[in-house]
Amino acid sequence: MDNTLLSLGHGYSARALAARLIPQGWRVIGTTRSAEKQDEIARTGVEPLLWPGTDLRPLLQEVRHVLVSAGPEPEGDPVLAALGPDIAAIAPRLRWLGYLSTTGVYGDHKGAWVDEQTPLTPATKRGQARVEAEAAWQAIPDLPLHIFRLAGIYGPGRGPFAKVRRGTARRIIKKGQVFSRIHVEDIAQALVLSIARPDPGAVYNLCDDDPAPPQDVIGHAAELLGLPLPPAEDFETAEMTPMARSFYAESKKVRNDHAKQALGWDPQFPNYRTGLAAMLKNDI
């Protein structure tokens, strides 16, 4: 089953990868926790599996490529909790295992640049959970592990246009705040390149070339739509949920040089302006 990918936690980024692999003759098997989502997954050409609920051990004995998108839970990494010994047993036979992590592992750097060599000092519980999950995967001997640290993901069905159109978009202003982001199609491209040229132990930052304040992205979306600029709100006094506020606890610019050099990765959407323009052109 050389051209079979087992996608554990078949989510947004994994769907973009599958859309590239299936036309190349790949078989993609994707797990979901939701029975209701099985039909939706099947319509994309992916074979859906309800998991937990299906014994994946026989399948693990056959596949050579695995993508892990499932994020950590309070008790730890859910895939390793359920399948850790089984994955360790087949590790030498795998050709490629990709783990989708987050640039949140770097923590707050007050707007400064970070790269893959930057110490991991997460400022949130979510970031700390990711650091622990990465370490748990890295501890498996002989595993051809590839870690992809993703910036804020956007793309079809996931972007600012809907909120701007509804009039619910907010331009939260926090001095010095900057985020990196990544279009989902650029994630898929990087994963395809990595699968074609495995480098066990590799870690890649996946982000565009243009870290920017979040209010600039909202403002540009409004401009593209020809709608009024959402009013500015000061971060200190804005009403926000604890979850929303926590995203502003970290400010950094993420470098992507290593992915470009090692994979030959050339992002199709090197900044949010090109990404948003493409989404609007396709009326997304």
Which residues lie closer than 8 Å to 204 by C-beta, 6 or more apart? 116, 146, 147, 148, 149, 190, 194, 258, 259, 262, 263
- The fraction of the chain above a pLDDT of 70, given in percent, is 99
Give the Cα separation of 31 and 46 in Å (integer): 10
Domains of the chain, first to last: 4-154+183-207+255-267 (3.40.50.720)
Q: Which helix (H) or strand (E) holds 2?
A: none
In angstroms, the Cα distances linking 66 to 4, 60, 146 are 9, 9, 10
Contacts by 239-245, CB closer than 8 A, 24 or more apart:
240/172
Give the Cα separation of 99 and 135 in Å (integer): 11
pLDDT tens-place string over residues 94-108 = 999 999 999 999 999
- 255 sits in the region (left: phi over 0; alpha: psi -120 to 50; else beta) called beta
Torsion of CA 143, 198, 82, 78, to 10 degrees: 120
pLDDT of residue 123: 84
Which residues lie closer than 8 Å to 121 by C-beta, 6 or more apart? 106, 107, 108
- Under the banding of pLDDT at 50, 70 and 90, the label for residue 196 is very high
- Under the banding of pLDDT at 50, 70 and 90, the label for residue 74 is confident
CB of 178 within 8 A of CB of 212? yes
- Under the banding of pLDDT at 50, 70 and 90, the label for residue 179 is very high
Q: How many CB atoms lie within 10 A of CB 238?
A: 16
pLDDT of residue 247: 84
Which residues on adjacent β-strands are paired with residue 203? 147
pTM of the predicted protein model: 0.96
Average pLDDT along the chain:
95
Torsion of CA 204, 210, 211, 215, to 10 degrees: -140
Q: What are phi and psi of 113, to 5 degrees?
A: -80, 145
Q: Worst-scoring range by mean pLDDT, 22-26, 77-81, 117-121, 235-239? A: 235-239
172's tokens:
């939260």
DSSP assignment string, 147-184: EEEE-EEEBTTBSSHHHHHHT---EEE-TT--B-EEEH
- Under the banding of pLDDT at 50, 70 and 90, the label for residue 85 is very high
In angstroms, the Cα distances linking 162 to 159, 199, 248, 284 are 7, 39, 22, 9
| Overall average pLDDT of the 237-254 stretch | 91
- Under the banding of pLDDT at 50, 70 and 90, the label for residue 43 is very high
Strands 96-102, 65-68: parallel, antiparallel or unpaired by DSSP? parallel
CB of 104 within 8 A of CB of 124? yes
- Under the banding of pLDDT at 50, 70 and 90, the label for residue 58 is very high
* Nearest C-alpha neighbor of 265 from the set 211, 201, 212, 202: 202
pLDDT tens-place string over residues 25-42 = 999 999 999 988 999 999
